[in-house]
Chains A and B, each alone.
Chain A
């Protein structure tokens, strides 16, 4: 047995692979999302702008300290305002960043607030103190701020740079992983295609082998059937002598025999009779199987045939004390069938039904036309067949034992298979409905021609 790659497994693999790819791509896209970077850059920009404005404020302060004019005071005030606006911008940044948790940064913010408050107070006192003094005091407050401002600015720049480098590395890693993933994926896809190709070839090969085997088997079966048909014919010839002479001896045509010899002759005759039946059935079955049984199809009345066979079987039924009833539907269309075959089937089924019935039981022959076929059933009230045996009884040489009948019923076991074969030759179907103790109903169908045959038409019009 060749091992097959399960389609479920392949589907599962592709599913997992696609989910993996999805996760990778999502991760890569998320990483590529500029959100974090832009925020970082905003922070870097805000800090550097503030540092720059701090520088310009200091320059304006130095100028005002030296010159002391009103214009210088105004310039210094403007620079202070701009510096304060930059501090406000920095404070307004609301996103997650390690810097915002650093004590040095928080201390710087506090310093800035304090310095802004003091600077505002100083500027308000300008008319009283004079420009030079205000500028001097302002510079005294501001100057110590420079180094820590610079430090924070550098740190933010460096952090940002590091994060950018990490980000690049991460992105590169992602790209490599995606490329690898695709490479593996492609390899697997090609492997799958290759596997499918191999399996396809194997299947085609197996199919060829199987169909050759099947042809051989059909051939063998036909050979067997041909052989049996020929052999049966050859076997019948000597049997005729056995039957004929044993009958003469049994009936003591040529003078009296001792009772013992007479009973031997009767046994011989009986056995030969049974052997002949067996050979006939085998011959018939073989012919059907070898498709050498040719049907002589004529239009016939099923009702007539039913009455004919029930007359034939009436004697046997009476002997067994069974009530054989022929009850076909009143109006039946003619059926195109082989008269002998139909009679053979009916006789088989009826004798089966009688065989499995007991005195006082009833066997009924029914025929119903429906749709494009005609259904004939032989219904008995006999011992019935176990569901497990139903299939078996249609096989050649199978007979069913039952509890009620300890001994094997007389018969070849070929009747049902033969009947089935004959019905199927007609294009019909044979089946058995049965349950133990409730009786058996064997039914078969014969197809009805939809178009009335031409011969009939002519006869009708004539």
Chain B
């Protein structure tokens, strides 16, 4: 029995096209966001359209290591902070860069720190407020004991509004996960 006989060609073709499509879509996901190679510093879940893995419910999940953050980030911000002395230069991925990179669609991000501190940050802050997810401080990677490895900072020196309690609460140290909704 030939294959052609057993399986009607149109059906087979349709299945093949579906498979190819699925593969292609998976490949495109992989193309836009490479898989992490080093330890994952930031997990991004929820209302994002691109990622490099899938969560339990099959939605896109972005696992970002330092190399990926550096590749898509590289934004510098010089500012003073309430927790440091004198001006500090942060290097990180800007909120807008992250949104572009992952195709964020939600309105709010729940930012979770290593100690399970959790705060909601409006996506508008990512887009407009010069929010920076810093991975280096004064050129050095930040240890967990120094509020690293990721630290959400705002340009505190540029605008007094970032000194308000709301923004101080959104300046998450030891950032670990972002969940967009």
Which residues does chain A contribute within 8 Å of B83, judged by CB atoms? 92
A-B contact count (CB 8 A): 26
Q: B114 within 8 Å of A by Cβ?
A: yes
Q: C-beta contact mask, A71-100 vs B, less than 8 Å → 1, else 0?
A: 000000010011011101000100000000
Main SS class of interface, B? loop
Q: Check if A81 sits within 8 Å of B145, measured CB to CB.
A: yes
**Closest Cβ neighbor of B39 among chain A residues:** A74
Which residues does chain B contribute within 8 Å of A84, judged by CB atoms? 144-145
**Closest Cβ neighbor of A83 among chain B residues:** B145
Contact size range, B: 10 to 19
| CA of A56 to CA of B146, assembled, Å | 19
Which residues does chain B contribute within 8 Å of A281, judged by CB atoms? none
**How close is B9's CB to chain A, nearest CB, in angstroms?**
51
| CA of A7 to CA of B161, assembled, Å | 51
The number of chain A residues with a CB under 8 A from chain B is 12
Q: Check if B115 sits within 8 Å of A81, measured CB to CB.
A: no
Which residues does chain B contribute within 8 Å of A86, judged by CB atoms? 115
**Closest Cβ neighbor of A92 among chain B residues:** B83
Contact partner of B143 (CB less than 8 A), chosen from A49, A52, A81, is A81
Main SS class of interface, A? helix
Which residues does chain B contribute within 8 Å of A52, judged by CB atoms? 115
Q: Check if B114 sits within 8 Å of A78, measured CB to CB.
A: yes
Q: Check if A78 sits within 8 Å of B145, measured CB to CB.
A: no
**Closest Cβ neighbor of B145 among chain A residues:** A84
| CA of A78 to CA of B40, assembled, Å | 14
Q: B90 within 8 Å of A by Cβ?
A: no
Q: B45 within 8 Å of A by Cβ?
A: no
**How close is A333's CB to chain B, nearest CB, in angstroms?**
83
Contact partner of B145 (CB less than 8 A), chosen from A56, A85, A92, is A85
Q: A338 within 8 Å of B by Cβ?
A: no
**How close is A50's CB to chain B, nearest CB, in angstroms?**
10
| CA of A324 to CA of B21, assembled, Å | 144
State whether A88 and B145 are in contact (beta carbons under 8 Å apart), knowing that A78-B114, A82-B174 are contacts in the complex.
Answer: yes
Q: A65 within 8 Å of B by Cβ?
A: no
Q: A53 within 8 Å of B by Cβ?
A: yes
| CA of A78 to CA of B174, assembled, Å | 11
| CA of A56 to CA of B174, assembled, Å | 16
Q: Check if B144 sits within 8 Å of A49, measured CB to CB.
A: no
Q: B59 within 8 Å of A by Cβ?
A: no
Which residues does chain A contribute within 8 Å of B174, judged by CB atoms? 82, 85
Q: B180 within 8 Å of A by Cβ?
A: no
**Closest Cβ neighbor of A49 among chain B residues:** B115
**Closest Cβ neighbor of A88 among chain B residues:** B145
**Closest Cβ neighbor of A56 among chain B residues:** B115
Q: B173 within 8 Å of A by Cβ?
A: yes
Which residues does chain B contribute within 8 Å of A85, judged by CB atoms? 144-147, 173-174
Residues of chain B whose beta carbon lies under 8 Å from any beta carbon of chain A: 83, 114-115, 143-147, 173-174
- Could you jot down 7 A-B contacts, CB within 8 Å? A49-B115, A78-B114, A81-B144, A84-B145, A85-B145, A88-B145, A92-B83
- Beyond A52-B115, A81-B144, A81-B145, 7 additional contacts (C-beta under 8 Å) are A49-B115, A56-B115, A78-B144, A82-B174, A85-B174, A88-B145, A92-B83
